[in-house]
Amino acid sequence: MANFIDLIGRIFISSVFLLSGYNKIFSHENTVTWMEGYGVPGFLLWPTIVLEIVLPIFIIIGYKTQLSAILLAIFSITTAIIFHLDFSNQMQIVAFLKNLGLAGGFLFIAINGPKDFAVERKKKFVRL
């Protein structure tokens, strides 16, 4: 049962990034304008979209889970610092803390791995 709950947790935490990457595809120009307003070059949007779609899928299916989780934790902390550091705005504080919470969740995944519901599941051998 714990392994199934682990899978559900991986799906929940990854869904934030999957939805975000999907939305960035369909609001490309607005997102580029928003990013450039923070001094981030617009050409970085496509690598961001790939990162926000591919790495969460890896976490869900359990392929390169720990590496993907570490990269998404770093990404979450970086975006919190770049885009949500305006502490005079209550919504920016909430977004900043959300990103830190996501990073913490990804660090838990990186430490504990994907358990049994994973493509790269560790084989259990029985000695006879």
Residue 116 has a pLDDT of 83
Given a cut of 90, is residue 21 above it in pLDDT?
yes
Query: Which H or E element spans position 123?
Result: none
Q: What is the pLDDT of residues 34-75, one digit of tens each?
A: 999 999 999 999 999 999 999 999 999 999 999 999 999 999
Is residue 25's pLDDT more than 90? yes
104-126 per-position pLDDT tens digit:
999 999 999 888 888 887 666 66
Q: What is the pLDDT of residue 128?
A: 66
Cα distances (Å, whole numbers) of residue 65 to 3, 42, 45, 95: 14, 28, 23, 25
**5 pLDDT above the threshold of 80:** yes
Report the length, in residues, of the chain. 128
Give the model's pLDDT for residue 16.
Answer: 95
CA angle 109–82–60, rounded 5-degree value: 25
* Whole-number pLDDT of residue 126: 66
**Confidence (pLDDT) at 125:** 65
Distance CA 30, CA 41 (A): 13
Is pTM, for the whole model, over 0.85?
yes
| Residue-level pLDDT at 121 | 74
